Structure 1
Amino acid sequence: MNELINSKSITYKTYGYAATEYLKTKEKRKLNQQFFKDSIYKYLPRIAISPENYSILFDIYILLGNTNKRRKKLEQALRYYLTAETFANKAEDIERMVKIQSNIGLIYQDIGSLNKSVLQLKKALNFLDDHKKSLGEKYYQRRFKTLSNLGNVYNTIYQEKNTNNVYLDSSLNCFRNILNDKNFKLTADKTAKIDLCLGTTYSLRKEYVQATDFFEKALSYFKNKKSQSDLYKTHYNLGVNYFNSGNLNKAKQNLLELFKVKKNDDLDTNLVNAHNYISQIYLEEGNIDSARYYFKKYKKIFTIVSENEQLQKKTTKNLIQFNDLEKRIKKLSNENQNYSIAISFLIALLILSIFLIAKNNKEKKKTRLRLEELLLSVTNKNIEKESNSNITINDKQHQEIIKGLKKIENNLYFLKEEFNLYNAAKKIGTNTTYLSKVIKVYKKMSFSEYTNHLRINHIVKILSTDKKVRAYTTQAIGEIGGYKNAKSFTRIFKKHTGITPYQFIEKINTEV
């Protein structure tokens, strides 16, 4: 990579920077993120968008996507993957197209867009089938990964909704297709991974005995192989399976083994939840000191994990168990009143945290919904248009004023600097009092609101159709709609749409 960075070729130099950044991020080596970012974006725009560069541009963008995925910058990773997909399509490179389709499916899962993830992975499977001959042996390698990923997404959807067994049926179908098709030529490693997946699915179906058989087979293989990450997953899933089936002793054994296997400092939902399960098990055993110890660790690591939005969503729901946990700790504890007050204060803090997190998530959800509404209107070319066809006007003078307003809208007079109530009334041939009244009655808004309504809709239309404008500054975009102050424009845009101009541009660049 250093040789590539030092080469005279702009293309190889950019690839060298992107690959080095990814490798160092993957191996958790120290690196100057700003330096690599500046270096990559210094050279990347200078690479010619030509057929001979399509493949290496794909490789650069997928590296950038992988780097951001490891840094938990999932939205940014998705944008890079989507760009990589365009170059794979341009190059008509079947293998690269298959690879990126699966990557996009997985990133949708990480973001929480599970239905999109399913659609993307199904699309990848269909694409694989269409190009089975040209892919040769790689067809089954890719099909194995895509089918197993799809099965895991179905399991995740069931865990999120927890209502419809059809998702678990679909999951089982994916994993059974792999096991029953001899063309996959499964190695012992791949067989163990599918056993782990099947164990998880049967456990979700509450078929704990059958789940245990698959988990134990997988565990036996991973122990011999000494695969830390696979052992970690298996001990967790087996521990939860035993916990749910009522075998608390076996559950404790596996969850404690999980803590031994977890050598690094990376936090995830499994580690958070494992402390919760262990605390409950010790309470059942009457071991108050151990229960309190794991309860405190649970609280500590949840505080850290809650800073990550994706992990926060998966762990917040478990905090409702804290009330019950606190009561049981009080009942079994012989400590003095001061300790009881401290525990109550801790629980109060946790409940407050739940409330604040829930409130924050609600606000984010509202913003996402508004973004989706705007994007839907953009995609369907259906941004709100001014229409008077549904207005019944009996007064002839009112009809003339409405016609005058329609001309103002069609001629974009509302973008002029001199546009105000007085000049609008003069142009239409009426007075300001009458014009205000007509707008209030038929438009259901004040003249000021009407002006902002027209201007913001005009800006939204331009942003949705002109990529160049989306690269302008907020000040420049505001001036298109007749706003001279960026701060004032941002405030009015958010009041009208529910989101900021930056949020709208960022999302539309991804979706449109």
Structure 2
Amino acid sequence: MREKYEDFPENDQKAFPFLQPYIDKAKKEKNYEKLVQGYKDGVFFAFLSEDKLKYADSMIWAANQSRSEDLRIISHIDKGVVYYYHYKKYQLALNEYLEAYKYSKNTKNEYLKYQNLYHIGVIKSYLGYYEDASELFMKCLVYYREKARSVTKLHPNEIYNNKKGYLNSLYQTIICYRHLGKYKEADEAIQTGFSEIGNNPEYDLEKGYFLLSRGISEYRHSRFQPALKNLNEALPAIKSSRDFARLSVGYFYIGKSYSGLKKTKESVVYFKKIDSIFRKHQFMLPELRENYEILIDYSRKEKNQAQQLYYTNQLLKADSIMSKDFIYLSPKMHKDYDTNNLMDEKDKLQKINYLGTIIIIVLIVWAIGLVALLTRRHKKAKEIQQKYVLVEEKFTASQNSEKGTAEAVALPMVEEKRFSLNEDKVEELLQKLKAFEDKKEFTQKGLTIGKLAAQLGTNSNYLSQVVNEYKKVNFNKYLSELRINYITNLLFEDKKYLKYNIETLARECGIASRQNFSDLFYEINGIRPTDFVKKRREELENDGNR
């Protein structure tokens, strides 16, 4: 039955008239192994991303019914791939990979282990842990290369899958090399990729990725015309695969190449394409953040303040999304994968050396503890630096946006809302809230919604409704953000505040409790105030030594 549809191309709905009878037969016979395969095929051939997700969920259900550890691994990896590849929801993807990782500890299927290892490497790369990620990809390269060349031992489909695993691992390694500044190694890996693919049309997408990498390399060498040629040749395969993240990368370097040729109008067309992708998918790779900085600068030069404000808001939105990803992914990656991986290695050593001496066991535990401690310190320092940079970039962006005209920061329009409010009264209250913000009256000690309502000549319920609808947060969140953003700006603008202790900073912005201030600062900025002050002092000292 599978032979009737298995040669259809990916995302081709025409496979389903042949696939559905296969699924029905497997269901009727309660053959869960075949049913997992049917739902896996459904993921492959479904055109819509939401349909792929539905089949992935069904795949997990069937795998659980089968009670097969390997089928559970396969199903969770496939669902993770849907989240990663078609949605770029890294948080949800990581959860699936870690679930697969739990089941993979006892499997004898090495292919599944390395497949999951590859996907965890992708998350590490996205987080900026390029050294760690490249180590994982190198392990995958060794495994897939050996398997792909075992032509006498494997089925042709297995050879094909291992070859794809090898090429994808090689491409991810190139990304790591590029971000680590290992350009020579990256260029050598690109050439290896082209040599491995040759003219085989089965690997058109992988060829597209290597063309993209070569185009970026040509741009880096200021060879803009060859860069454009390679980048444009890469786009059709990447578009066809619906990999919007790498499509954005292609557009970005095409725009940069046109900029290098002094063709500003052509470059802006491609930078705007990236904004269109971001609007649709609400995702952006960290390396493309510069795209909005370029568009903001271009709008400023064109004296288009409305566009400047729009792109500033888009940059802040992108920062917010990336910040949430980093805050969630980094600790989870360390806790649920890195630490568990070390413990697994320890368990393996203990099994192998079960009859070993107590001294060896103690040394292993000590080594693991030391590695974990050093890893935590290193990662914490790296996370703090990343979070500080994000706060600094937000501050810079907010400073730029404040340079716009009054029209650019006008009050939100009063629209019809879910509850009945008098438009004139709402407009009047919004004006009062703006004055309240401009005069920094939110720094009052012990300010409550009741007290503020009395000061503004309204009642608590009315004020609460207006804040919820027009500030998009509840009153407590609104007040907390005003206070924390205020003190953050002071720490950036006036170095005398860097000498204050946490209690004084808390009082300065109207927060009575040191702990409450620290928790709110972390919630809003993603970094503790003590860490922020330390990084700010270091930055000023470094600037002074230059």
Tell me which residue corresponds to 2:16: none
Tell me which residue corresponds to 2:310: 293
User: CA–CA distance in 2 between the matches of 1:190 and 1:67?
Assistant: 18
1:328 positional shift: 5.2
Tell me which residue corresponds to 2:65: 43
Flag structure 1 segments of 5+ consecutive residues without an equivalent. Answer: 159-164, 366-512
User: CA–CA distance in 2 between the matches of 1:343 and 1:33?
Assistant: 52
1:107 positional shift: 4.0
1:14 positional shift: 6.2
User: CA–CA distance in 1 between the matches of 2:164 and 2:52?
Assistant: 34
User: CA–CA distance in 2 between the matches of 1:25 and 1:301?
Assistant: 27
1:238 matches 2:254: yes
1:216 positional shift: 3.9
Asked if structure 2 preserves the Cα contact closer than 8 Å seen for 1:121 and 1:146, the reply is yes
Asked if structure 2 preserves the Cα contact closer than 8 Å seen for 1:283 and 1:328, the reply is no
- What secondary structure, in the 3-state scheme, does the structure 2 residue paired with 1:308 have? helix
1:66 positional shift: 3.3
RMSD, matched Cα: 5.1
Asked if structure 2 preserves the Cα contact closer than 8 Å seen for 1:144 and 1:184, the reply is no
User: CA–CA distance in 1 between the matches of 2:299 and 2:132?
Assistant: 41
Residue 8 of structure 1: which of 30, 38, 57 is its match?
A: 30
Tell me which residue corresponds to 1:217: 230
1:219 positional shift: 1.9
Tell me which residue corresponds to 2:537: none
TM-score (norm 1): 0.51
Amino acid of the structure 2 residue aligned with 1:155: R
Asked if structure 1 preserves the Cα contact closer than 8 Å seen for 2:309 and 2:404, the reply is no
- Specify whether residues 288 and 85 from structure 1 end up closer, same or farther in structure 2 by C-alpha distance, changes over 3 A only: same
User: CA–CA distance in 1 between the matches of 2:34 and 2:184?
Assistant: 47
1:13 positional shift: 5.4
- Specify whether residues 222 and 343 from structure 1 end up closer, same or farther in structure 2 by C-alpha distance, changes over 3 A only: farther
| Residues 67-106 of structure 1 mapped to structure 2, 5 A cutoff | 69=84, 71=89, 72-83=91-102, 85-86=104-105, 90-91=108-109, 99-106=115-122
**Cα deviations by residue, 1:198-252 (Å, 9 ceiling, x for unpaired):** 233455xx43x22563244322552698646354331123335556897654432
Tell me which residue corresponds to 1:377: none
Asked if structure 2 preserves the Cα contact closer than 8 Å seen for 1:172 and 1:201, the reply is yes
Query: What is the aligned length?
Result: 343
Tell me which residue corresponds to 2:171: 148
Asked if structure 2 preserves the Cα contact closer than 8 Å seen for 1:199 and 1:215, the reply is yes
Residue 200 of structure 1: which of 210, 216, 223 is its match?
A: 216
User: CA–CA distance in 2 between the matches of 1:15 and 1:37?
Assistant: 8
**Larger relative contact order (C-alpha < 8 A, sep ≥ 6)?**
2
- Specify whether residues 75 and 97 from structure 1 end up closer, same or farther in structure 2 by C-alpha distance, changes over 3 A only: closer
- Answer with 129-138 or 335-344: which moved more: 335-344
Tell me which residue corresponds to 1:66: 81
1:179 matches 2:251: no
User: CA–CA distance in 1 between the matches of 2:439 and 2:290?
Assistant: 21
Tell me which residue corresponds to 2:299: 282
User: CA–CA distance in 2 between the matches of 1:318 and 1:245?
Assistant: 31
1:257 matches 2:298: no
**Cα deviations by residue, 1:381-405 (Å, 9 ceiling, x for unpaired):** xxxxxxxxxxxxxxxxxxxxxxxxx
TM-score (norm 2): 0.48
Amino acid of the structure 1 residue aligned with 2:169: T
- Specify whether residues 338 and 224 from structure 1 end up closer, same or farther in structure 2 by C-alpha distance, changes over 3 A only: closer
**Cα deviations by residue, 1:410-430 (Å, 9 ceiling, x for unpaired):** xxxxxxxxxxxxxxxxxxxxx
Amino acid of the structure 1 residue aligned with 2:108: K
Residue 307 of structure 1: which of 301, 324, 336 is its match?
A: 324
User: CA–CA distance in 1 between the matches of 2:187 and 2:439?
Assistant: 44
1:305 positional shift: 4.9
User: CA–CA distance in 1 between the matches of 2:396 and 2:194?
Assistant: 43
- What secondary structure, in the 3-state scheme, does the structure 1 residue paired with 2:281 have? coil
Tell me which residue corresponds to 2:474: none
User: CA–CA distance in 2 between the matches of 1:290 and 1:77?
Assistant: 39
1:278 positional shift: 1.0
**Cα deviations by residue, 1:42-77 (Å, 9 ceiling, x for unpaired):** 635x44x7xxxx5x4553343354356565334423
User: CA–CA distance in 1 between the matches of 2:60 and 2:72?
Assistant: 17
